[in-house]
Structure 1
Amino acid sequence: MRTRPLKVALLGCGVVGSEVARIMTTHADDLTARIGAPVELAGIAVRRPDRVRAGIPAELITTDAKELVKRDDIDVVVEVIGGIEPARTLITTAFEHGASVVSANKALVAADGAALHAAAEANGADLYYEAAVAGAIPLVRPLRESLAGDKVNRVLGIVNGTTNFILDKMDSTGAGYSEALDEATALGYAEADPTADVEGFDAAAKAAILAGIAFHTRVTIDDVHREGLTEVTASDIASAKRMGCTVKLLAICERAADGASVTARVHPAMIPLTHPLASVREAYNAVFVESEAAGQLMFYGPGAGGSPTASAVLGDLVAVCRNKLAGTTGPGESAYTQLPVGPMGDVVTRYHISLDVADKPGVLAQVATVFAEHGVSIDTVRQQSKDGGAARSGETDNGGEASLVVVTHRAADAALSSTVGALRDLDTVRGVASIMRVEGE
C-alpha cells in the first residue's frame, strides 16, 4: 500500500463542506482501506475564517482559495461553494496544476460542463459530480457507467426536495401554495429566497446534466424549458385528485420518437397515483429511467442536505483517488451523438385545461370547435357552475360563470398553445384559469 497520503483541498465549509471534512476525519481508516492509500485534508478555503467550525483544525483554514488549488502537492480538489464564479476559475486552475476535481456544483456543470470536461481531459484529470444532481442518490454514475451499454430513452424525475415538500403538503392537507411554502421555510426545506427552487432553476440545471449524460449529447441549462410551481393552486390539486392523479414538479428528458433530437423540460404535471413517482413524499427525490435493454429503473432517496450530499461527494472522492493511484482517469464527457435539443413545441403529451366561461348554452360546442380546428383531440370534459351546480343546457345567460375542465388526448405543445390562444379570443371564455400537462401514462 502506498504510504504517502493523497492530499485533498476543500473549497467551502458550509453545510455540505463541514460534513465532508467530518467524514474524512472520522472515517479516515475506512477511506484508506477502500482507496488503497491514506487520504489527507490539506486545506479548506472559506470566506469567513472567524466562524467557529467544531472539529476542524484552525491551521487548515484559508481565505486564499486560488493559492490552495495551485499547490503542487494537492491531488484532488473538492468544490462545494456553488455558483459560477469563482468556482469555474478555481476548478480550471486546479486542472492546470494537475489536480482532479469532485464538485457538487449543478449550476456550473449545467452551464459550462463541456468546457470543464475539456479542461480536465487536456490535463489528464478527472471531473466527477455525482452530488450535483440528486444528493445521496446514485444517479450520475449509473447513467454514465452502469447503463453505458444500453440506450436510455427517457428520464423522468423529482429532483428538488423543496418543491416536492410543498406540493405534497398541498395535496395532503389542502393548503394553498403560500401556506405550504411557509411550512417548508419554517422546517428549513426552503431558503429565505426560494426562487431557485420554486421557479424551477435548480431542477432545470439537474435536467440539463441528466439529459447530457443519458443521451450522450450536449445540453445546457439554456436548452431546458422551465416552469415553476408558483401558479399551482389548491383547485389544481383537487382537480388532479378527481382524475386519480397528484401534482409533481418534474424534470423530463426524452428522445424524440424518431430518435433525431432530444428535449429537456421542467414543469408541474399531473401523474397517475399508480405511477411510482406519485408515492414520493415530503422532501425526497426520485428519478425514473426508461431504457431499451434494462427497461424501467427507479432511483429514490434524500436529494439534499449536508450528510446525504457529502455521501455522494465522498463516493466520488474514493473513485477519483483510486484513479490517481492507478494512473488513469474515469469516464469523461460523452457527446458523440451530437443530437439537437428540440423546442418545447415539439413535445407531445396530454393536457388539463381549466377555463372560466359564460354559464350559458352553446359554450361547450364553441370550445370543442376550437380544439378540433387546432388538431387537439378532447378526452374528457367537466362543466360546473361557479355556484356549485352543474351547468344546464337549457339555461339562458344571466351573467354567471361556469368552470369548464378539458382533458386532452396526446398532442404537440405547439398545437395546445395555439388552441389556448384561440380560446382566449372567444367572447364566452372569460379566462384560462390553469394549464397543466398530464404525464406518466
Structure 2
Amino acid sequence: MLKKTHGSVTSNLWGKTAVSAPDAASFQGERSVDLAIIGGGYTGLSAALAAAEQGAEVTLLEAETVGHGGSGRNVGLVNAGLWLPPEAVNARLGPAAGERLNAALAAAPDMVFDLIERHAMACEPVRAGTLHLAHARNGLKDLENRAAQLAARGAPVRLLDAAETARRTGSDRFHGALYDPRAGTIQPLGYARGLARAAQDAGARLHEKSPVVAVQQVGGQWILRTSGGKLRARSLIVATNAYHQPIDQTPVPKVPIVQYFQIATEPLGDNLAGDILMNGEGCWDTGLIMTSLRRDRAGRLILGGMGGGGRIHEDWARRKLAQLYPRLRGAGIEHTWSGRIAMTGDHLPRIRRFGPNAFAIYGYSGRGIGPGTVFGRAVAHALIEQSETALPVPVIEGHHEPFVRLKTLFYETGARLAHFAAARS
C-alpha cells in the first residue's frame, strides 16, 4: 500500500544509506609533503589515490566532510562522455584535443568500475548501462545524431524505439532512447568514501573539517594554512569545483552554478515497481530543463530535476512521478535534497594553472563521477611525473566566465518557471 507523504522531506538519501565515513581528523600542526590537495570529492580523492599509489607523500584537506559537495549529492550515473556530443567537443577544442578528451571520457566508466572492484568499494555498483530518453520528437532527432557520432567512434550504443523504451523504463511517456551499455549507476557518496579509504590504504593522509584559509607560494613551495596548522607542499591541486570557498591568493575562477534537486520514494515492492527500470539502467532526458530517473538497491525510485529544491520544484517532481507512473500517485517520499553543478559556458571541464606545479580542476557541468575520476588521476600523474602530455584537456593559464551571477540566476529562474508552468498544464 502507498503511504502518502505530505510536506517537505529534507534528508539526503545517500547520506542515510552510504557506508560509514572514513576516519579523517582535522589537520593540526605542520607537515611537508609532495602533493597537497584541497577538496574531498571525486577529483581530489582520485588524485590522492593515484599519487599515493606512485609513492608520493600526499595530504588532502577538506573543509567539511568527504563527499560533502556534489560527490555526495550526485544522481549516481557513471556516464561515458559529456553532455556534449563528440563533434561538439571537437568544435570547441579542435579535432586532436577533442578526440583525446572524447577517448578519455569514453573509458571513464571502465576506470570507475575497475576501481570499485579492485578496492571492494561498497557503493551499489550496477553496470547495466544508461538510457538517454527523448522527451519529445525533437529530442529523438538529437539522439539519432548522437548515436551516429558515437558509433563512428566505436561506441557500442544503440537507438531504441518508443516501444522498447517503454518496456525498459516502464513508462510510455518517451519517444525513444539512446542506450549506452558502457555506463551504469552507483551510490555516489559510497563511491566517494570508497575512494577515501583506498587513498588512505595507499598512504595518503586525509583531513576533514580543515578549511584552507590562505595559500602562498614561497621559495618553490606552496604553504597552506588552516586554523590548526601549516602544510608545505611541492605541488598543489585545488579540486573544490562548485563548492569552492574563498582562499587568500588562490584565484580559482567563478563559473555559473546550476542547482539540481532530487526526490526518493519509499522502497517500492515488485507489485508496484516490477517493470520500472527493471534492468537497472539509469536515465536522463533530452529536455532543456533536464530530468533524471533511477532506482537504488532498496527499490526506491529517484527522480531529479534542475532547480534548487523548495515547494515549486518538489511539487513538480511529485506530479512528474505520477505522470510517468500513474500507479505511484501519492507514493511516499522519504528524501529530498539538492546540490550544485559548476556549468562552464561551453560545458567543457578545465585544468587551470595558477602557479608553479599548481592546478585547479573544475567545470564538469553535471558529469562529475567519470570526469572527476579521470581528471584527478591524470593531474596527479602529471604533477608527479612533471609531464602534461597525457592530460585529457590542454592546460589553460586563465579563464574568465562573463555574467556569472546573471547566468546562475537565469538557470534557476528558468527551472522555476518551467516547473511552475508544468503545474498548470
TM-score exceeds 0.5: no
Which protein is richer in helix relative to its size?
A: 1
Normalising by structure 2, report the TM-score: 0.28
Between 1 and 2, higher relative CO (CA 8 Å, sep ≥ 6) is seen in: 2
- Larger gyration radius, structure 1 or structure 2: 1
TM (norm. structure 1) is 0.28
